[in-house]
Amino acid sequence: MTQSEEKATQTEENAEPSKKSRLRRWLFRILIIGGCLFILGIATIAGILWYHSSSLPSFDSLADYNPPQVTRMYDRNGRVIAELYEEKRTVVTFDRIPLHVRKAFLAAEDADFYSHPGLDFMGMLRAMWHNIKAGRVVQGGSTITQQVIKTFLLGPERSYTRKIKELLLALRLESNLSKDEILSLYLNQIYFGHRCYGIQEAARYYFDCDVSGLSIEQSALLASLPKSPAGYSPINHPERAKQRRDWVLDQMLKNEMASVQEVKIAKSKELDVVGSYVDFFESAPYYAEYCRRVLEEKLGKDRLLQGGLRVELAVDLDLQQVAQQIVAAELRRIDRRHGYRGRLGKITAEQIKQLHDKHDSQGAKNKIWTLVLSSESQEPETASKTVPTAVKWLELKKEARVIVPVTEISIVDKTEVARLDLGISSATLDLKGIKWARKFSPVGRTPAPKKISDILEVGDLIEVRIEDPTPESLTAGLSQPPLVQGALISMDPHSKHVLALVGGSNFRDTPLIRAVQSRRQPGSSFKPIVYTAAIHTGAYTPASILMDTPEVYRSLQGKAWKPQNFERVFTGAVTLRYALAHSINTVAVKVCSDIGPPAVSNMARDLGIKSKLARNLSMALGSSEVTLLELTNAYSVFPGQGKQAEPVFITAVKTPDGKFIEGFEQTEPRQAISQAEAFIMTSLLRSVIENGTGKRALKLGRPLGGKTGTTNQQKDGWFVGFSADLVSGVWVGFDDNSSMGTGWAQGAGTALPIWVQFMEAALRDRPKLDFKASEGTVFVRIDPENGLLASPQLADAEFEVFVEGTEPRAVSDRLSGGDRQVTSSGSKQINSTTGKRLPEGMYR
């Protein structure tokens, strides 16, 4: 070996320890740096955790869980008529949720819920990996505990900052609440789609049952929804929902939460969802809306919409819906007499094609469309500018009403026929279907159309009524939304419970609650108030003889007023009973003049009328405006034995835990008039139906009382009447006070038919109760010509009822029907029942 080789070898030997030394030094440095970084990381994490923990929200909202809940209105028989809410939720206690329901949600969302500390670390790592790959937050890997934190405290934001807070809060929550309490919060809070929050409302909507009645397959379906309520909706996506439900069932089997047999049976079941909800507009909209306003005024909007209240109403849903149907149908009948107002809108062939392309009927063969127009389309002057804004699909059935376009007018068998587009089918409209559609004129008769083209054009949007739904002969008749309006009130005269309230023809189109919001002149339907005041004075009885003769009255300013009867004829001497039965105006004014307008006004107040009344003689003819509710409630005093109280709409309001809320107690009834006076008025109003203007009601074949009312130029038609156990009032008229027509448009021709139909339906299953005579009344045989006691020989004598002590004392000299004993017009007359002298003006 040479010297140089030895030196190289020696150098290599010296270098090996040096390399090892450097390696050790680097490893030491790396450990030192790594340790520092680790300590720094731990310190950083600790700092981050400390920083975020200092700004964490409190658990107060969880410890005192009081979320928004749905308020429900119930009719007198416990049926839901309306739901009011911001979030449709009803909180249920944990013990009411069956075990298999809880297991279904655990299998779908968090199978290890009862074993982890609130965090699923493997799930978190998996979610972190997916987020790193995506470069953004795409997955959460949240447990039920974390979902509760997100829902209640942090919101839906996806960020690492929010995630850190979520982790901290989840750990804290697990140490503050039990697992059952956390799961209860989750099940009551989550969203299930279709405006349903919480497991109870989901069970009600999808299956029309209480949460306690859910089956395993139903539970699995509901457990599939929180992940994507819209995507897995069994209403909109049944196939997708079934697949997701079956996946949840598989998860239950995998996690030993259900047996093989249970899962097999559950998978074999169809979804069978109901989609149950209360249609506010179809149930009792006017009644519910009126009560909603009362509740909001007393309780405030937030408590009403969030408080989960149980509101018990006096309404009878069956009567309410019958009333709505009758009012709507009769208003259309009246409206048809006024004629056709014209098309509702205009549409082109291209626009019709676009509607077909855009709106799918989902292949249903028994569906027809109705085109949704803007509200101003109901006015003829804007109809040409109106086009449909949407389409609704309805069931094809007889009497269905839809708005459709006229697509063709052709000649068939020498007669014009219109072709109507119903969406996936078409219908024909012939001359028979438009024969009523003369030119619009409430006050005059115009010629009927002679052919289709007299009133329709291609492209017209019109309302039609399906006459024959058979596909081979699908025909329709022309219709139109009524312009004339009406209202109905029905109540128990004894309890004052309002059983039905209708405020117009259709709540969707006209939500004004006319029965309580509109003040109108009552016309002759106010006369019973006048006669009640007269009977109350003791100076008048049903047998009092009064003169139906013309009279001129002068105001303080000297202006002359001469009341006229409707027929413009005068009868002469009549009894008070006859005057009311035949609605004689002159007599009502004379009685009002005698007792004084203040006495009439005071009596109206005693009977519950609160509207301002003009204290002049015209009030006897109903010139002062009142509401239908006021007048109907006043009439309830007569069959109600003289007792007056405020009408009752809301019988009770309860909190979710069943406690009564004060302020909705019924007022104690007071004796407005004596029982004897109430029976006298009941008897007098029976004569209106039996012998007077209300004869149409005789078809009901039971004891009834009531009074018609008509205002000048037939602007208002009224009928208010009663049986022994039900009092109802009806008003008909235009909102703008236009005339409804000529002689046919009196109360007897507009309001009374509605009243008769409603009372016939309402009383159908009730016994025929008679009005019972009260204490303090006596029946006396009288001479109807003069109101005196009848002689035993008088053949045409009649029995009359009196308040005890006011019956006649003198005996009539008349022995036969031809021997009249009535003082001639212009002389003074002694009241035969009281002996008091009546003023000359009553006989002038």
By annotation, the residues acting in catalysis are: 109, 524
CB 681 within 8 A of CB 748: no
C-alpha closest to that of 229 among 254, 266, 195: 195
Buried b (16+ CB within 10 A) or exposed e, 649-666: bbbebeeeeeeebeebeb
For residues 630, 633, 638 and 643, what is the CA-based torsion angle, rounded to 10 degrees?
Answer: -110
Backbone angles phi, psi at 731, to 5 degrees: -125, 140
* Residue 673: its H or E element: none
Q: Is 87 helix (H, G, I), strand (E, B) or coil?
A: coil
Under 8 Å CB-to-CB from 615, ≥6 apart: which residues? 597, 598, 600, 601
User: What is the CB neighbour count within 10 angstroms for residue 768?
Assistant: 11
Q: Which residues of 533-553 are buried (b: 16+ CB within 10 A; e: fewer)?
A: bbbbeebbbbbbbbbbbebeb
Residues 514/519/524/526 CA torsion (nearest 10 deg):
110
Please give the structure tokens belonging to residue 128.
């972190």
Question: What are the CA-CA distances from residue 528 to residues 107, 595, 674, 682, 804 (Å)?
Answer: 72, 14, 15, 10, 20
Tokens 């409603």 correspond to 758
Q: Confirm if 433 and 476 have CB atoms less than 8 A apart.
A: yes
d(CA 142, CA 145): 8
- Give the phi and the psi of residue 425 in degrees, each rounded to 5: -150, 175
- Packed helices 597-606 and 585-595: angle between N→C axes, nearest 10 degrees: 90
- Residue 128 CA to residue 106 CA, distance in Å, equals 22
* CA–CA dist 596, 269 (Å, integer): 78
The b-or-e profile of 41-75 (16+ CB within 10 A means b, else e) is eeeeeeeeeeebeeebeebeebeeeebbbbbbbbb
Amino acid at 477: G
Cα–Cα distance for residue pair 154/152, rounded to 1 Å: 6
User: How far is residue 283's CA from residue 76's CA, in Å, rounded to a whole number?
Assistant: 14
Q: Tell me the CA distances in angstroms from 536 to 229, 351, 532, one per residue in order.
A: 68, 69, 6
Token digits for 764? Answer: 């159908």
Rounded Cα–Cα distance for residues 832 and 365 (Å):
76
Q: Are 178 and 194 spatial neighbours (Cβ–Cβ below 8 Å)?
A: no
